């Protein structure tokens, strides 16, 4: 892919990068409701992309997402660069993340480092003004990109793991089942990291700030702004719709189709609590006499072919309709098109019906402002964003999603009171135009961006000629492979190979230790200083025997580093010993846990850093030692920085870690291996696990990747 956008924005204009990874995203004809991952967020990011690209202050907007080659979905999702036909400044750029096929969002985590590397390769050639990520998975990628590029991260959660977990537990699900279905603990950990890294969190409602983000340890309300999304009023507008095409489909189900409909429309996701609505309707004979129930829960071919979540939800719907014998009173169409959705809202309004969102929790609720825009009064869950929507628009009432009786009564009451119904319908139409417009959103969005810390992108100075690495591949070893001392023959074999291949392959060591300790170790092993030394946990980069330090890296990681505050915090942390400043790195503070009883633990120390608003990454070296380094510093980031500066492709880099190596060192698009030992990474398919330990394990990995052959497919 050409890495330079054809229409690079002029410096006065903004180049914005949005990231939304999961679900099916394309410029038009969105397949909303097709599955559990293609819903409101997809609509939100595509409409945000369009609204930003239409603004003269913006030069270019890239929406980065996952490339999908899968015979079960349209070819659109495999296109690398999709320009929106009516908006040349708007691009949807797709990169691979793991396998080609379409995967549920919960399955994407292991592939996000690789996606980040592909995206970095594309973005390094440009100078985006910021990265704006959407949902936890994109937030993980956004952190990696923003920290490497040195630009601010903006994040919109759309839905939060803690809220989802709380509401599903309240509905009776077990912690273990939730973990198995949704991997919530990993998602919540990433959401916390995002809150610690992002310069700005954009929410749709104050409730998200007060209640939803309020559940998070590292949420800082001062870095949050409510900027509600818009609704497309040319698509969602009031008006008579007595018999739209979709009503023909509905009439197949309904004995008395002229009765007012109770309309629910959502992705087939258990958080939407459709079952709760059917219970409320099924247990209320007066309601059944007065109104029909219309449930639109995505589109489906064969329920048995759906992924587990939607399959469970739809099976439950069929079973409950049968259980309450709602045949003739309940409609649950299998298909609908995008244009049927506004028709549905207008058709329901024309019959004096209502819209209900009975979700266990709803971060915001785009369907509510869509229904409102079409003149349909609403009932919505009291948990989440709908509180703000109804407070703004005065166009409906809140319900307790777990109270079956209350839902039934409030539905009956709204359907029976014409005056109230008329007032809600009118208020909704006016309220949406007043509070939910994309132009207003863009104005507030761009104003909020103005207040962000200005990007301090990586300085890309030229490298003094003698210093440029001329080899076309890099081999990095974890320094632990040299300590304890390897068997002499094994070390000689490695040294001989490095010497033989020195023109083709540069050699580097990575170590948590300071440079001087690593040099001492090399002297003890009687080894030459390698071409690259990455020390102190990735905070220092030195080159060759001259040990010339990469000042660009120091400047890059030093932005917003507050070493003195880290040092002072550790100095007063019970159970921790730190050596004097002279023994510390400028960008790395080392701590030694001398009293486990007194020390509150690394998680607590991390919280302290966050609560004191001290940016930093805490790295555990072993049970007794840790480092605190700048967020922009890590082995993985340092290796990528070296690769970029010396123009070496990531798949021309082989990193071989010791048994203690982690995914920061071995993840992403580099070639990676871990020598055999006591602690192997959870089977990570892209990381070669050597059988042998120590240097033989390293030689085994070099052979496995055929790393030295001229035409190695590396």
Ligand X SMILES: O=P(O)(O)OC[C@H]1O[C@](O)(CO)[C@@H](O)[C@@H]1O
CB 265 within 8 A of CB 367: yes
Q: Nearest-CA neighbor of 445 among 30, 48, 27? A: 48
Residue list 91-130, contact with ligand X (CB under 6 A): 105
Terminal Cα distance for the chain, rounded: 18
Task: Pick what 366 binds: ligand X, ligand UPG, none; C-beta below 5 to 8 Å, kind-dependent.
Answer: ligand UPG
Angle at 136 between CA 132 and CA 140, to 5 degrees: 70
Residue list 263-322, contact with ligand X (CB under 6 A): 269, 271
Give the H or E element holding residue 196: helix 184-197
Minimum separation from the CB atom of position 190 to ligand X (A) = 13
Task: Pick what 367 binds: ligand X, ligand UPG, none; C-beta below 5 to 8 Å, kind-dependent.
Answer: ligand UPG
Size of residue set near ligand X by CB under 6 A: 15
Task: Pick what 165 binds: ligand X, ligand UPG, none; C-beta below 5 to 8 Å, kind-dependent.
Answer: none
Q: Cα(246)–Cα(608) distance, rounded to whole angstroms?
A: 56
Torsion angle defined by CA atoms of residues 690, 115, 298 and 238, in that order, rounded to the nearest 10 degrees: 170
Minimum separation from the CB atom of position 367 to ligand UPG (A) = 4
Task: Pick what 362 binds: ligand UPG, ligand X, none; C-beta below 5 to 8 Å, kind-dependent.
Answer: ligand UPG
- Could you say which DSSP state residue 204 is in? S
Task: Pick what 164 binds: ligand UPG, ligand X, none; C-beta below 5 to 8 Å, kind-dependent.
Answer: ligand X
Q: Cα(134)–Cα(158) distance, rounded to whole angstroms?
A: 7
* Helices 386-393 + 366-373 axis angle, to 10: 20
**Residue from 5, 14, 37, 395 binding ligand X (CB under 6 A):** 37
**Residue from 60, 132, 164, 617 binding ligand X (CB under 6 A):** 164
Task: Pick what 542 binds: ligand X, ligand UPG, none; C-beta below 5 to 8 Å, kind-dependent.
Answer: none
Contacts of 666 (CB under 8 A, 6+ apart): 655, 657, 672, 673, 674, 681, 684, 687
Task: Pick what 23 binds: ligand X, ligand UPG, none; C-beta below 5 to 8 Å, kind-dependent.
Answer: ligand X
Q: Cα(226)–Cα(389) distance, rounded to whole angstroms?
A: 12
- If binding is defined by CB under 6 A, does position 664 make contact with ligand X? no
Task: Pick what 59 binds: ligand UPG, ligand X, none; C-beta below 5 to 8 Å, kind-dependent.
Answer: none
**Residue from 5, 27, 39, 261 binding ligand X (CB under 6 A):** 39
Place of tokens 């007012």: 260
Give 41 or 148: the residue with its C-beta nearer to ligand X: 41
DSSP string, 334-385: S---TTHHHHHHHHHHHTT-EEEE--S-BSS-HHHHHHHHTT--EEEESSBT
**Residue from 91, 118, 158, 617 binding ligand X (CB under 6 A):** 158
Task: Pick what 365 binds: ligand UPG, ligand X, none; C-beta below 5 to 8 Å, kind-dependent.
Answer: ligand UPG
Give 271 or 387: the residue with its C-beta nearer to ligand X: 271
CB 131 within 8 A of CB 153: yes
Determine the interface stretch with ligand X among 36-44, 255-263, 285-293, 554-562 (rule: CB under 6 A): 36-44
Minimum separation from the CB atom of position 576 to ligand UPG (A) = 42
- If binding is defined by CB under 6 A, does position 645 make contact with ligand X? no
3-state secondary structure of 510: strand
Determine the interface stretch with ligand X among 34-42, 76-84, 457-465, 680-688 (rule: CB under 6 A): 34-42
Residue 352 structure tokens: 């004096």
Q: x/- string (CB under 6 A) for ligand X, residues 7-26? A: ---------------xx---
Give 23 or 268: the residue with its C-beta nearer to ligand X: 23
- If binding is defined by CB under 6 A, does position 370 make contact with ligand X? no
Give 308 or 603: the residue with its C-beta nearer to ligand X: 308
Give 5 or 40: the residue with its C-beta nearer to ligand X: 40
Place of tokens 């402002």: 369
Task: Pick what 690 binds: ligand X, ligand UPG, none; C-beta below 5 to 8 Å, kind-dependent.
Answer: none
Cα 534 off chain centre by = 29
Determine the interface stretch with ligand X among 38-46, 605-613, 629-637, 688-696 (rule: CB under 6 A): 38-46
**Residue from 65, 116, 159, 511 binding ligand X (CB under 6 A):** 159
Q: Cα(672)–Cα(655) distance, rounded to whole angstroms?
A: 5
Contacts of 263 (CB under 8 A, 6+ apart): 294, 296, 344, 345, 348, 353, 354, 355, 356, 371, 376
- If binding is defined by CB under 6 A, does position 42 make contact with ligand X? yes
- If binding is defined by CB under 6 A, does position 41 make contact with ligand X? yes
CB 324 within 8 A of CB 278: yes
Give 236 or 705: the residue with its C-beta nearer to ligand UPG: 236
Give 260 or 363: the residue with its C-beta nearer to ligand UPG: 363
Give 43 or 628: the residue with its C-beta nearer to ligand UPG: 43
Contacts of 525 (CB under 8 A, 6+ apart): 482, 485, 486, 491
CB 152 within 8 A of CB 146: yes
- If binding is defined by CB under 6 A, does position 135 make contact with ligand X? yes
CB 81 within 8 A of CB 1: yes
Q: x/- string (CB under 6 A) for ligand X, residues 422-461? A: ----------------------------------------
Task: Pick what 343 binds: ligand UPG, ligand X, none; C-beta below 5 to 8 Å, kind-dependent.
Answer: none
Residues that bind ligand UPG (CB under 6 A): 32-33, 39-41, 43-44, 158-159, 204, 265-267, 296, 298, 341, 362-367, 370, 385
DSSP string, 389-456: HHHHH--EEEE-TT-HHHHHHHHHHHHH-HHHHHHHHHHHHHHHHHH--HHHHHHHHHHHHHTSPPP-
Task: Pick what 435 binds: ligand X, ligand UPG, none; C-beta below 5 to 8 Å, kind-dependent.
Answer: none
Contacts of 680 (CB under 8 A, 6+ apart): 659, 674, 689
Q: Nearest-CA neighbor of 645 among 455, 456, 463? A: 463
Contact footprint for ligand X (CB under 6 A): 22-23, 37-42, 105, 135, 158-159, 164, 269, 271
């Amino acid at each position: 892919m050409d890495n330079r956008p054809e229409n690079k924005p002029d410096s006065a204009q903004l180049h914005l990068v949005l990231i939304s990874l999961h679900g099916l995203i394309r410029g038009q004809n969105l397949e909303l409701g097709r599955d559990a991952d293609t819903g409101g967020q997809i609509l939100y990011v595509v409409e945000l992309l369009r609204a930003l690209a239409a603004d003269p202050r913006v030069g270019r907007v890239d929406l980065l997402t996952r490339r999908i080659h899968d015979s079960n979905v349209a070819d659109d999702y495999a296109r690398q660069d999709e320009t929106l036909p009516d908006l040349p400044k708007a691009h949807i750029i797709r990169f691979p993340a793991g396998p080609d096929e379409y995967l549920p969002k919960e399955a994407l985590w292991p592939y996000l480092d690789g996606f980040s590397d592909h995206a970095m390769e594309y973005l390094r050639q440009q100078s985006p003004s910021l990265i704006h990520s959407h949902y936890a998975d994109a937030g993980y990628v956004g952190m990696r990109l923003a920290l490497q590029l040195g630009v601010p991260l903006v994040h919109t959660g759309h839905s939060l793991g803690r809220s989802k977990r709380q509401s599903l537990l309240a509905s009776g699900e077990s912690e273990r089942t939730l973990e198995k279905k949704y991997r919530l603990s990993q998602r919540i950990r990433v959401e916390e990291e995002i809150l610690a890294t992002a310069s700005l969190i954009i929410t749709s409602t104050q409730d998200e700030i007060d209640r939803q983000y309020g559940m998070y340890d590292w949420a800082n309300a001062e870095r949050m702004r409510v900027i509600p999304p818009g609704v497309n009023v040319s698509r969602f507008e009031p008006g008579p719709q007595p018999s739209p095409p979709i009503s023909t489909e509905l009439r197949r189900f309904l004995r008395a189709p002229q009765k007012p409909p109770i309309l629910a429309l959502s992705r087939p996701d258990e958080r939407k609590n459709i079952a709760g609505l059917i219970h409320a309707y099924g247990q209320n004979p007066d309601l059944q006499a007065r109104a029909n129930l219309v449930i639109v829960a995505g589109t489906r071919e064969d329920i048995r072919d759906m992924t587990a979540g939607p399959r469970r939800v739809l099976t439950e719907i069929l079973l409950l309709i049968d259980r309450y014998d709602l045949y003739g009173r309940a409609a649950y169409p299998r298909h609908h098109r995008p244009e049927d959705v506004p028709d549905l809202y207008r058709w329901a309004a024309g019959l004096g019906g209502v819209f209900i969102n009975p979700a266990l929790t709803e971060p915001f609720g785009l369907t509510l402002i869509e229904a409102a825009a079409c003149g349909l009064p609403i009932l919505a869950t009291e948990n989440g964003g709908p509180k703000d929507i109804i407070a703004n628009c005065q166009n409906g009432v809140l319900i307790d999603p777990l109270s079956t009786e209350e839902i039934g009564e409030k539905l009956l009451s709204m359907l029976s009171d014409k005056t109230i119904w008329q007032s809600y319908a009118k208020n909704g139409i006016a309220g949406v135009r007043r509070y939910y417009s994309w132009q207003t959103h863009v104005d507030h969005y761009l104003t909020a961006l103005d207040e962000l810390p200005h990007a301090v992108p990586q300085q890309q100075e030229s490298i003094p000629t003698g210093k440029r690495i001329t080899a076309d591949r890099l081999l990095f070893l974890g320094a632990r492979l040299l300590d304890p001392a390897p068997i002499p023959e094994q070390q000689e074999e490695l040294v001989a190979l490095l010497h033989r291949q020195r023109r083709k392959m540069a050699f580097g060591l990575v170590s948590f230790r300071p440079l001087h300790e690593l040099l001492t170790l090399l002297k003890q092993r009687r080894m030459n200083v390698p071409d690259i030394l990455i020390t102190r946990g990735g905070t220092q980069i030195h080159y060759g025997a001259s040990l010339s330090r990469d000042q660009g890296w120091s400047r890059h990681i030093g932005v917003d580093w507050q070493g003195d505050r880290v040092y002072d915090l550790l100095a007063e942390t019970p159970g921790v010993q730190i050596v004097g400043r002279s023994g510390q790195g400028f960008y790395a503070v080392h701590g030694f846990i001398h009293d486990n009883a007194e020390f509150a633990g690394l998680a607590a120390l991390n919280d302290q850093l966050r609560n004191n608003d001290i940016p930093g990454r805490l790295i555990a070296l072993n049970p007794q030692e840790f480092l605190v380094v700048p967020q922009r510093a890590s082995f993985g980031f340092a290796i990528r920085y070296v690769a970029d500066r010396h123009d070496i492709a990531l798949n021309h880099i082989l990193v071989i870690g010791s048994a203690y190596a982690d995914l920061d060192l071995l993840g992403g698009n580099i070639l990676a291996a871990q020598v055999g030992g006591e602690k192997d990474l959870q089977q990570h398919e892209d990381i070669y696990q050597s059988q042998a330990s120590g240097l033989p394990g390293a030689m085994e990995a070099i052979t496995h990747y055929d790393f030295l052959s001229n035409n190695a497919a590396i």
